[in-house]
Structure 1
């Protein structure tokens, strides 16, 4: 089944970070039930085999039931006046002109990790910071896996971004990136090292010491361990 390609197309944007939201011309439209799950799955994968889609979205159903549910969901998506899904007998793909915020986030993260683009651009930084988790209220197995993958990618990018901004003499932006990483994963030592490094670069020794002590107490309370020797050596020792 294919939506009609003769109908006028409107720009479509699929938001999966924070919550599910489909927009046409920046105006939200309602997507219900299984059609929402189908669009999210194909939106993340871009293209997948019909059997993979059916088996992932309806894992407890028989093959015939899953394929029937898939056909119903495709029919619901085909009612929009812009093509969202492109189908062949064996595959289902997201239409080329549908943008997805999760892809924009992963592309920005890769740009940082691979050193592409200007790293002192506030917009590039905010593009990483101002994003929620992937479909946080969904507990489907395929969502959980995608959410954790995107979370780790974002954390690594924020750590790298903080380090590079500090190296370019931009400690305030480096601190912002490091604190964003801390908010996502409070027990991640690399993010806390970046926070302390940014404070030290600005000459804020008291802030650096206070943050290190707070992290040390957190580690003791949660895991019963101490910060690494590498982290401890970052903290200036008092003169004898």
Structure 2
């Protein structure tokens, strides 16, 4: 143990747990479940035994890292911080960028751990990680919807649908256009998603294709 590590101030259990999870997350994303507790300890600048004062084993660290990845609180804070003075499209592009980062982070972690198609049967998935059709009105969904409605703001009057419906469609577009198993290696940019969301794919200014009649 280094002298600096011996002089490190004693942390409360919750602080120590948070520091371990913060150090372990990038390691699991980079190297998968093969990461050792020694590597985690070195990244957190603590003694390896300190990990086991907070977690019973490495699997519990993995569970905590995945559970934190599914916590949408940081994403909601980033959405709330988007500059409301920006033009409407720029605000939506900033919001989509935030959401794409969340999708990439979550599924990058699950992919590195080999969980992309579900948690291994010997592991109990953490809270928030479960295959389900989310209830549009459950608390997490309402929080997300309200955050996007806040980004839309007074520009809701420019939409053909309520801002809450735009939030729902945005979430589906971001997920399908970013998830590595769905986008087939061709993720869309935030700008492309916003263009599709607001303008669709039909060019109304283009002439219609000529109609053809088949010979009888």
**TM-score normalised to structure 1 length:** 0.32
Higher relative helix content: 2
Higher relative strand content: 1
**TM-score normalised to structure 2 length:** 0.35
